Amino acid sequence: MTTKEIKALISLLDDPEVAPHIEGEIQHLGESIIPFLEESWEESLDPQQQQRLENLIHQLQFEGLQQRLRVWREGGAQDLLEGMWLLNTYQYPDADLQALNRAIEQLRHEASELLLPDLSPTDQVQALNYVLYRVHKFSANTQHFHSPANSMLQRVIETKRGNPLALCVIYLLVAQRLGLPVFGVNLPNLFVLTFRPEGAEPLYINCYNRGLVLSRTDIEHYVRQLNLTPNEVFFEPCSNLDIVRRALRNLQFSFEKLQETGKAEEVAELLAILE
């Protein structure tokens, strides 16, 4: 369709009799029509029309996100940063993947200058801790633990505050770009990392507690405190798919705590794509 035809189509939304049919046609056109809807929103002085346009824009963005999430999963969920960015775009559709990539790359560059070849695994962790927690001051968002922003990588990088999983994801992405054998671990109630150096016992890293180094015995003690039966999944690396699923569950719970039922239900739809 030409620009003139698209604008004429959008103008028909003012007519209550044909608006439902026009909305269907607009949804069929997909995300490419969003800039025209945004332009129409700016020009409108009718609050009801603006709300109708906002709903259409959100629906188009949500359907696009669902499709991209399917593609990410079907492609093997290889890129964790991309998966977390996709989650990020639910709240921030204009989030820039390359900007996130640059932020992670900057952290990697700073950490690389401290990682001397002869450092022990524990010292390598301490070097990463220094960059993330001392220089950049990343920390736990204990004051607003259930805020949806804690699951949004863009916001966590901007504010330096996040939940256990988001802080672990940043640490994990930096560590893996440095060639370190660091992976996520799906502990109940707490997401941690494991550092698995060749020929040595695995270490565990609590990113929510400024990179505190833990042993397997510490993890076993934590599991006993929760009165859970020990399970190897509590000690072994999990997949990128597992991480993004958990991030979506966290986000769903955040919206439920805020009684934003509609958003919680939409996040559940996104989660279903990955289940």
pLDDT of 11 reads: 66
pLDDT of 15 reads: 64
3-state secondary structure of 61: helix
pLDDT of 16 reads: 67
Backbone angles phi, psi at 131, to 5 degrees: -65, -45
pLDDT of 19 reads: 67
Q: Could you give the CA distance from residue 254 to residue 64 in angstroms, rounded to a whole number?
A: 23
Provide the pairing of β-strand 190-195 with 182-187: antiparallel
Which pTM was predicted? Answer: 0.87
pLDDT of 272 reads: 97
3-state secondary structure of 106: helix
Q: Helices 34-43 and 3-11: crossing angle, nearest 10°?
A: 50
Residue from 68, 203, 198, 53 nearest 123 by CA? 203
Where do the domains of the chain lie?
3-74, 80-274
Give 10-residue mean pLDDT values along the chain (275 residues).
70 66 70 76 74 84 94 96 96 93 97 90 94 95 87 94 95 96 93 92 93 93 88 91 96 95 96 95
CA distances to 8, 189, 191, 233 from 250, in Å: 42, 10, 11, 19
